[in-house]
Structure formats: C-alpha cells, structure tokens
Structure 1
Amino acid sequence: MLRCKELVARSSDYLDGQLTLGENLLARQHLLFCKNCRCFIKQMRLTQATIKALPEAPVDDVEKIVQRMTAAQRSDDTP
C-alpha cells in the first residue's frame, strides 16, 4: 500500500487519470483507509474545478509588455 507522501506525489497523475492500472489500484486502496488523503484529493479536485471555471485573461501584445517593463525599470533606476 502507498504511504501518504507517495500518494501526494502522484496526486496530479491520479486526478488526470495518468496512472497505470496497478498504480491506480494502489492509490484507491490507500484512499479507502486514509481520511486525510481523501480530504487532500477532494481539495485538489475542487482546486482544479475552480481553475477551469476561471475566465482566461486576455493576452496583451508581448512587445507592449516589454516596453512597459522597460519603462518601469528605467523610472526605478532614475535618482
């Protein structure tokens, strides 16, 4: 059976369905017996759902971003 550290390390792969059948069975077995890891996985699922529900931020033109950063840096360097 997996230990908590091992489950946490594989949690993203578990949630994404990327574990092998054997690894998935070990993770599910661990979750049957470990309340803390069940809570952790539940929180991870909620986090994933929240992130997916967020609107995508509009992407500014990269050149404009570089120009603003350069201007800000210059104004910070001025005595």
Structure 2
Amino acid sequence: MLTCKEQVARSSDYLDGQLSFRERLMMRHHLMFCRHCRRFIRQMRLMQATLKLMPEPSVPDLDALAERLANERMKNKP
C-alpha cells in the first residue's frame, strides 16, 4: 500500500490519467482507506475544474515584443 506522501507525489499524474493500470489500482486502494488523501484528491479536482474555467490570458505578439526590446537595447548601447 502507498504511503500518504507517495499518494500526494503521484496525485497530479493520477488526476491527469498518466499512471499505469497497476499504479492506478494502488492509488485507488490507498484512497479507499485514507480519508485525508480522499479529501486532498477532491480538493485537487476542484482546483483543476476552477482553473479550466478561468479565461486564458492574452499573449501579446511575441515577435513584435522581441523586436521592440532589441531596438530599445540598440538605442541604449553606448
């Protein structure tokens, strides 16, 4: 059986579906008996759902920004 520390370390991979079948079984077995880790996983799921609902930040045109910074650097060069 996994320890709580191991459970927490693998929780992101578990929620993202990146564990093998055996690892998922070990996680589920631990969650059956550990209410603290069940609460932790519920909180992680809630956080993931909340983050998915947040709007994406607007990203400025990176090429234009890089060019502007390069021009500023050239102007300020002695």
Q: Where does 1:46-61 land on structure 2 (aligned, <5 Å)? A: 46-61=46-61
Q: Are positions 1:10 and 2:47 aligned together? A: no
| Structure 1 residue aligned with 2:39 | 39
Take 2:56 and 2:31, find their aligned partners in 1: how far apart are those partners? 33
The Cα of 1:61 is off from its aligned counterpart by: 3.4
Which aligned runs of 4 or more in structure 1 are off by greater than 6 angstroms? none
Instruction: Using structure 1 for the length normalisation, give the TM-score.
Output: 0.77
Amino acid at match of 2:57: A
Where 1:58 maps in the other structure, the secondary structure is coil
- Which ranges in structure 1 are unaligned for 5 or more consecutive residues? 71-79
CA RMSD of aligned residues (A): 2.0
| Structure 2 residue aligned with 1:22 | 22
The Cα of 1:57 is off from its aligned counterpart by: 1.1
Take 1:48 and 1:27, find their aligned partners in 2: how far apart are those partners? 19
Q: Once the two structures are superposed, what CA deviation does each residue of 1:15-37 show, in whole Å capped at 9, x if it has no partner?
A: 01111111000000000000000
Number of aligned residue pairs: give it.
70
Where 2:19 maps in the other structure, the secondary structure is coil
- Which ranges in structure 2 are unaligned for 5 or more consecutive residues? 73-78
